[in-house]
Structure 1
Amino acid sequence: MSITSNKDGFELLACLPMKEDELREDVPLAGSYAVINCGERFLICFNKWRQQWEVPAGGREEGETPRECASRELFEETSQIVNDLEFIGLIKVKKPNGDIKYNPIYYASVDKLVPFQANEETEQIVLWDLIEEIGHMDEVDKAVLEWCKVISAKGKNE
């Protein structure tokens, strides 16, 4: 049973909190997400190709670790450099063809953003409160942000 699905047919099946050292070798990891919180809002970017708001994320390049992928995608899509990304878990997603993939989720809080430079994929970034109407937001990415909001709130209360 899925939590949600997006317009492209990807289904979010589970959000799996864990520590990075709990990752098993046999879990097929796909591209990494970089979830950035700034003043109780989350950094999202408008993808020109898909015409929607998304969390900075993307596939790993050869020889790249999941953490390096998250950092690179964050920089390429939003111009942000965050050195203290923390692994908080995986999401389990069913692709339109039925294959299952696991995306590592990296999280950080920052005090402010650096200026954004538009690029071939991203035309705009914003800090979003998950409530304000912004246009089409990828449904899977929104669910990931909602999960991260809960995880980060738990961390503050511990």
Structure 2
Amino acid sequence: MEETSQELNNIKLCVIVKIFVKSENRVEYGAVWLGKIYNVKPFQINDEMDKICFWHLKCDIGYIDGIDRKLIDILL
């Protein structure tokens, strides 16, 4: 809800990642959650995101950050 404006049901934790941010010489942790969206709500721009998209993994959606690409590889 915080980043996507969507309400999820049946939420479960998929993976926790440890990321070293080389440019800032620090470690960051993140969690990836999986859930179901039954009713898509309008997205609200926030401090972390300016848009979202639903992706079926079959078409090219453009640039994907290295961290996000790695998470996709881990989860698939």
Residues 6-45 of structure 1 mapped to structure 2, 5 A cutoff: none
Matched, 1:125 2:63: no
Letter in 1 for 2:40: V
Matched, 1:86 2:9: no
TM-score (norm 1): 0.38
TM-score (norm 2): 0.66
Tell me, which stretches of 5 or more residues in structure 2 are unaligned? none
Structure 2 CA distance for partners of 1:139 and 1:130, relative to 1, 3 Å: farther
Aligned length: 74
Residues 82-121 of structure 1 mapped to structure 2, 5 A cutoff: 82-95=8-21, 96-108=23-35, 110=36, 112-121=38-47
Tell me, which stretches of 5 or more residues in structure 1 are unaligned? 1-74, 150-158
Cα RMSD of the aligned pairs, angstroms, is 2.4
CA distance in 1, matches of 2:50, 2:25: 31
Letter in 2 for 1:86: K
Aligned to 1:76, what secondary structure does the other structure show? coil
How far does residue 82 in structure 1 lie from its aligned partner after superposition? 1.1
Higher alpha-carbon Rg: 1
1:73-124: CA deviation from partner (whole Å, max 9, x where unpaired): xx2332211143212231121112322232222222x264513233245443
How far does residue 131 in structure 1 lie from its aligned partner after superposition? 4.3
Identity, % of aligned pairs?
Answer: 22
- Pick the structure with more helix per residue: 1
- List structure 1 segments (4+ residues) > 3 angstroms apart after TM superposition: 120-124
Q: Which moved more, 1:112-121 or 1:76-85?
A: 112-121
Letter in 2 for 1:102: Y
